Structure 1
């Protein structure tokens, strides 16, 4: 017997933290009965566990995808308000997959999706300090002092951020906006937007261009590709997961 959130995570249906939210929201059933207690245990081999009515078992094949997420899209499997989700962008994939972390509704760029719960938890765990690079278009003239502050870390309402790598890429001729590249390894909610706001610049648009050494090269906005076996192996190593990679690491490209 295992805790329900661990079963959900192992199946690749959600991270453990997200699994807890799903349970509390009444979106998980065991043998047809809705479960809302976080301490509930189940037998993954005998009980039928479902999320949003979809049975989740140990995946028959581990799948790994890199998506170039467009704006106006939810980083989730479903949305109660009927908005488009990132899973909707992979219609050929019939297996239950889940995004690794989140990008805001309006944020574009690199997002991984998988049914490998172990890898997902490793990539999201703060101990591994997985780097993420963003390019932001920020309102106003970002100065060299602003860049230095971002590099040192800035104070947010939930505490001081870790030092980041920041670079000024472009400034409008009239100083109305600036384009900034920012690399962080923390995973706080809306962190890049809040960091730039903390130094006096509202983010007008934001795109994640790199994650854990992967980039968007060759993947147009709204499209996706399977990760190679080599890429999966490297992710497993940096995320502290087992390095064993199944043959056929993903699914057909889109």
Structure 2
């Protein structure tokens, strides 16, 4: 409920680290894999993933992507620009926080330590 911290954590200009698990409608090609890592041009500028990995070596439709860009719907737009339909998208890491131990739809209050991590991270 701190507007200034929320702004610093979510505004694109602050480039906070986010990790997503993405399920695609088809297998990610080697060519597109490298395009995402090397950088692609979208209507609002260039973007590239910091890291991109297959979640399961046997399934090239599920990837993990680490990105710092805070542009609106950036992960969906990256894959859409290459002809993929994102079937499921799950942010699993944001600004030092994970969803570990939480089931879909569950939530919990942040610990004091997590709040401090966010406050420190918002100003770094």
User: Does the alignment reach a TM-score above 0.5?
Assistant: yes
Task: State how far apart, in whole Å, the 2-side matches of 1:210 and 1:163 are.
Answer: 15
8 A contact 2:12–2:71 mirrored in 1: no
Q: TM-score, normalised by structure 1?
A: 0.45
The alignment's TM-score, normalised by the length of structure 2, stands at 0.87
Within 5 A, what are the aligned runs for 1:59-70?
Answer: none
Return 5+ residue gaps in structure 2 as ranges.
none
Equivalent pair of 1:128/1:238 in contact (CA under 8 Å): no
Higher RCO (C-alpha under 8 Å, 6+ residues apart)? 2
Deviation at 1:163, TM superposition (A): 4.1
Among candidates 229, 233, 237, match of residue 120 of structure 2: 237
Q: State the 1:134 CA deviation.
A: 0.7
Measured in 2, the distance between the counterparts of 1:198 and 1:168 equals: 19
Q: Which has the larger radius of gyration?
A: 1
Structure 2 Cα separation of the partners of residues 143 and 199 of structure 1: 10
Calculate the aligned-residue CA RMSD, in Å: 1.9
> C-alpha separation between the residues in 1 aligned to 2:96 and 2:35?
25
Are the aligned partners of 2:26 and 2:84 in contact in 1 as well (CA < 8 Å)? yes
* 1:224 corresponds to which of 107, 114, 122: 107
- Structure 1 residue 161: deviation in Å? 1.0
Cα deviation for residue 125 of structure 1 reads 3.3
| Structure showing the higher helix proportion among its residues | 2
Aligned residue for 2:84, secondary structure, equals coil
Structure 1 residue ranges without an equivalent (≥5): 1-114, 242-254
Cα pair 2:49 2:66 within 8 Å, conserved? no
Match in the other structure for 1:208: 91
| Count of paired positions | 123
| Match for residue 140 of structure 1 among 6, 15, 26 | 26
Rounded to whole Å, the distance in 2 between the matches of 1:201 and 1:240 is 36
Counterpart among 69, 82, 87 of residue 186 in structure 1: 69
Segments ≥4 residues shifted beyond 6 Å: none
Q: Answer whether contact 1:134 1:210 (CA < 8 A) is retained.
A: yes
Provide the residue aligned with 1:123 in structure 2: 9
